[in-house]
Each structure stands twice: as structure tokens, then as C-alpha cells.
Amino acid sequence: MSIPPLKGWSSKLLVVAAMIGTLVVVAIAAVIIVGLTPPLVFFSIQDASLQGGQLKQQKFYNFTLYANNTSRRMEVHYTNLNTEIWIAPSEWYPAEVSMSGFEQPPVSINGYKQPPDNVTKVAGWAEFYQTTSLTAAAQGGGAGNWPNCTVVVMAKVLFKVGLARTRPYHIRVFCFPVNFLNTTRPIQAYQVDGPAGLLDQQDRYPFLARPPPL
């Protein structure tokens, strides 16, 4: 049975064909959107410590950042990953992180790659400085309760499956409280901004615009 030429189609048949074509396009778009929905990504801090350096009275904050990609299909590509250690509501240190735990894809624009269903850990550190407010807090005379600190994780990521990729997402999360002298359990991160559903849905704190008061 051959399809009649368009000239022989009635207006009703043309409308039905257009509707079917529209439904097919919508169905394909829905499959693509669902397939590219960002997966859950868990962040946590472990192994927090304060250790001496090579120089006299030199100390460093050390921690391990765990990034857990829970998707079974999608890769996570980190084009930027920064951390900060907040010791008080207005005092913080920029912390370095080693990206050696991630894979380096052939195309540098994709950043560092994390495979599906993968937990990657990276080392982080920052030099310790004895500030006035930190001394007061340690002696019980100032705001805050150091050595409990807040580790802020800021990342720019995109997600890939095959040749398809999502738009870039900016994520900023807080890990609190991180005790650098006596850490007894992993510290989960909670989301402040970025796409919904990227962070651990358990152990979540209220959204804040800045690190919580210590």
C-alpha cells in the first residue's frame, strides 16, 4: 500500500499527520531531557586534621574530600573545583585541592572526569594561621567554637552520557561542623545554591547565603 501524495490529502489527514509528528518530537525531547537529568552527587569530608609543617610553628589544615557520583550512566566533568575553610563567620582560608584522583579526558575543555557509579577522593589542605579571633575562640572568649570549622566546596560541573551533555552547573555546598582536632565521623555536605538534587538528601541543613555562624 503506497502513501498518497500530499496533494491528495484532505485537510483532516494533514492535521492528524502534523499532530502525530508533533507527538513524536515531544516524546523524543522528553526522553532526552529525562536521560540528561543531573544525577545525585554526594560530597563529604573525612580525615580532617591539623598537622605540623617543615618550619617551626608551621601547621596545616588537612582533609579528604569525597565526591560520589551515584549515576550508573552519566559522567561528571569538573571544570572547576575550589574549597575554603571558614574558622569564623568573617574569617576563612583558601584551601588547595589535588585533582589527581580524577581522570583527565582527551579534550581539556571537559575538565576532570569522574566515571559513573564512582567515588573519588581528593586531598585538600590550607596553611594554619593563628588569628586574634581564633585565639579568643580557643580560650572561650570569642565568637565561634574552633576547631569546629566549615569547609565550603565550590564547583562548576557538567554531566555527559555518550555524546550528549548537560549545561554547566555551579554548585556551592557547606560541610559543617568539621573538627580538625577530633573528627569522629564523615561530615556530609549540604547545598546552598546550584541545581536541585545534586546533593545528599539526607543530613541536609537549611539553605543559607553564607557559612553558618560557628
Q: Quick one: pLDDT at residue 172?
A: 86
Summarised one tens digit per residue, pLDDT across range 2-57 is 555 555 556 666 666 667 666 655 445 444 444 456 667 888 888 888 887 666 66
Please tell me the predicted confidence (pLDDT) of residue 180: 86
pLDDT at site 110 = 63
The predicted pLDDT at position 2 comes to: 55
pLDDT band for position 211 (50/70/90)?
Answer: very low
CA max distance for the chain = 92
Residue 109 is predicted with a pLDDT of 59
CATH of domain 40-193: 2.60.40
Q: Domain locations in the chain?
A: 9-38, 40-193
Report CA-CA distances (Å) from 131 to 89, 124, 138, 206.
14, 21, 11, 29
Instruction: Supply the pLDDT for residue 65.
Output: 92
pTM, 2 dp? 0.66
Q: Please report where in the chains the cell 554531566 appears, as a residue.
A: 159
Say how far apart CA 190 and CA 124 lie, in whole Å: 18
- C-alpha closest to that of 4 among 13, 52, 51: 13
Task: Kindly report, residue by residue over 52-71, the tens digit of the pLDDT.
Answer: 766 666 788 999 999 988 88
In sequence order, which ranges of 117-187 are alpha helices (DSSP H)?
A: 132-138
- pLDDT tens string 152-172: 998 888 888 888 888 888 888
Mean pLDDT of 185-214: 41
